[in-house]
Structures are given as structure tokens and as C-alpha cells.
Amino acid sequence: MKDQFEQLKDDVIAAATKIADRDALERLRVEFLGRKGKLAELMKGMATLAGEERKLIGAVANEVKSAVEAAFVEAEKKAERGERYERGETERVDVTEPAIGSRPRGHLHPVTQVREDLEDLFTSMGFIVADGPELESDYFNFTALNIPPTHPARDMQDTFYVEGAHGSNGEVVMRTHTSSQQIRAMRAYGTPLRTVTPGRCFRNEATDVRHEHTFHQLDGMVVDKGISFAHMKGVLGIVAKHLYGPETKIRLRPKFYPFVEPGVNGEVTCYLCKGEGCRLCKKSGWLEVFGAGMIHPNVLREGGVDPGVYSGFAFGFGLTRLVMLKYGIDDIRHLEGGDLRFLNQF
């Protein structure tokens, strides 16, 4: 009987060392070591043995069992190494590639963060997010927006004219506002229309803490039949609450913009003092954050829209100003400066 055990041991070990596949190895294990396996079968025979001999064979059986188990462990390791080797053959590792996490990742600029937040809000209200050229024709930037060449409003928006450059619509300028996209949007999409255009704008400014030659705006417009001042106030109220909390109120005061009639200067209650008056709002309790108004009939006409049938409102937020208010930034020049000591704070 001892020989039978030894024979079994030799057979299993020989078989196990030849197998390089883990599934086949498992089948072999069940065949020999399973509850109904060959070893169990052999051990049943021990019941017929008498005292001393049974003890002796029992010891042999245990020895065989542990030797076989050890052989399986070895074989399994070998099979695993084999699989890893095969993977290595098909999946090349580029050891020169930088390790994950070894390179500091950048993050979005504060202006981009605020812009994307507003884009999400406006798309949730059914607005298209449009884009327009930064290098714009004099026509789209001024003339089509009811600012003819001789209009004094041009003085408020002195910009950079590109010398010698003439597009199909006359002289070329760096756009002074994202409103230049309004005519393009009406011509491209027709009515009804709900669109916002965020982007960079430029003015010929002597820079200081409050003035910068490059800044960001978000312009928007709604054109449809029966659009009234009340719709405008409703939308702007939603934006104000989104930006500064549910308690925020808005205040509209008359202001002249050539491309709207009537035009308003839009203010929100100061989020810092809740309208009590503080340093941020210069004791007024109000913060000026947007301009808006009902789109001038001339502007609608330029966009190919009949002002006798359609009406609309337009608004513009100074994105740069929103960012400065949100983070308490006291010098506008930081935002275009590219100084990492500043940018890393956001």
C-alpha cells in the first residue's frame, strides 16, 4: 500500500511539472486531491488495515499529500510566470514614459472657471453657446450695432485697428465687445434665437489696476415674437441669483448703449454686505455687473430680423469683473499676467 501512495505521488508530481496552464493544473488538482480524487480513494483502503500498519500508512499518506500540494504550488507559480511573460510579449512597456503623477497638472484659469459655470447655466435655459472672431470687421463691431463711423460712442471703445487690413466688410479691428457676435448670430440662426457668446475683447487702454487692454465678456441675446423687458429682467434675475445666491436682487437703471433702446445698467445686491454697504460696493450696497436692454430696431434689421414682428433683449456681463468680484482680486492686470504665484491660488 505504501508503494501505491509513492507511485501516486510520483505520477502527480510528474504530471504537474509538465503543465503550464493554470486551468489544466486545477483540473489535475481535483483529479488527485479532490474529495473524490485518487488520493481520497486510496485512503479509503486504509480502513481495512490493523492498528500499527494503519498508523504507518497514515503517516505516508500525509507525507504524500503535502509533497503533492507543494508541487502544485510550484507549478502554479510557474504557470503564472508564463502568463506574465506572454503578456510582456504583447504589451510593451515604455520605460521612458513619465510615471503617473510625476508631472504637475495645470488647472483652469479663474476666468475660464466662471465662464464655464455661466455657459452651463445658459445652456440649461436653452441658449446656444456661440463663438465669434476676435479680429472683427469694423462693420460687425460698430456699424451694424448702430454705431456709425461718426458716432461719439466709438470714443468710449477705442480699440486696435489693424493697419492695412481690410476684410469684406471694411476695416479690421480687435473686437471691443462680444456684442459683435449679435449680427452674426441672427444671420446664422434666424429666429427664434437664444444665444450667448463668451470671449476675449480688447480696448486701447492705458493699463492700471482697473483697466486692461485685454478682458473677457459674455454677451447674450434673446429674439422672438413678444419678447419684453419683463423677460429680460427675469433672465437676468436668474443669473444674479446663480452667481451670488438666492437672496440676490437686481436693480436696473437707465443707461445709454447705442445698440439697445431702452438700455440699462444692471446692478446686483452686494454679496459681501447683503446690501448694507461696504468697501467692495463703495458703501452703495450694489455692484454693477452687467449692461442690458431691448435690442435696437436698427440692430435687428442688420441681422435680417423684422423689428415689426420680432423683438428681443441683449445683455453683456464683464466676465473679468465677475471674477475679480468673486475672488476679491484688486488688480485686473493679474488676470492676463500669467504669473503662476497668482494663478496657483485658484
| Distant-in-sequence, close-in-space partners of 102: CB < 8 Å, separation ≥ 6 | none
Closest contact distance (angstroms) between CB of 290 and Zn ion is: 17
Find the shortest distance in angstroms from Cβ 319 to Zn ion.
Answer: 21
For residues 144 and 138, give the distance between their C-alpha atoms in angstroms, rounded to a whole number.
9
Q: Is it true that the peptide bond before 104 is cis, omega within 30 degrees of 0?
A: no
Name the site residues for Zn ion (rule: CB under 5 A): 270, 272-273, 278, 280-281
Q: How far is the CB of 140 from Zn ion (least distance, A)?
A: 37
8 A C-beta contact, residue 245 and residue 269: no
Residue number, 49 or 280, with CB nearest to Zn ion: 280
Contact 221, 232 (CB under 8 A): no
Rounded least distance, CB 265 to Zn ion, Å? 17
> Which residue has its beta carbon closest to Zn ion?
270
**Helix (H/G/I), strand (E/B), else coil: 294:** strand
- Which residue number, 84 or 282, has a Cβ lying nearer to Zn ion? 282
Judged by beta carbon, residue 286 or residue 310, the one nearer Zn ion is 286
Specify the residue, 281 or 300, whose C-beta has the smaller distance to Zn ion: 281
- Least separation in angstroms between residue 249's CB and Zn ion is 13
Question: What is the rounded CA–CA span in Å between residue 248 and residue 274?
Answer: 8
Dist CA 14 CA 11 (whole Å): 5
Virtual torsion, Cα 239, 240, 243, 249, nearest 10 deg: -150
Question: What's the closest the beta carbon of residue 162 comes to Zn ion, in angstroms?
Answer: 41
Pick the closer one to Zn ion by CB: 67 or 280: 280
Side-by-side strand order, sheet with 250-254? 128-129, 193-202, 214-224, 311-318, 286-295, 260-269, 250-254
Nearer to Zn ion among residue 166 and residue 283 (C-beta):
283
- Identify whether the C-beta of residue 317 lies closer than 8 Å to the C-beta of residue 162: no
Least CB distance from residue 267 to Zn ion, whole Å? 11
Min dist CB 286 to Zn ion, Å, is 8
d(CA 334, CA 226): 43
Q: For residue 50, how many other CB atoms are within 10 A of its CB?
A: 7
Side-chain-facing half-sphere of 173: CA atoms under 13 Å: 25
Cell 435696437 identifies what position?
A: 296
Residue placing its CB nearer to Zn ion in the complex, 19 or 325: 325
Q: How far is it, in rounded angstroms, from Cα 128 to Cα 266?
A: 23
Give the residue with the Cβ less far from Zn ion, 64 or 329: 329
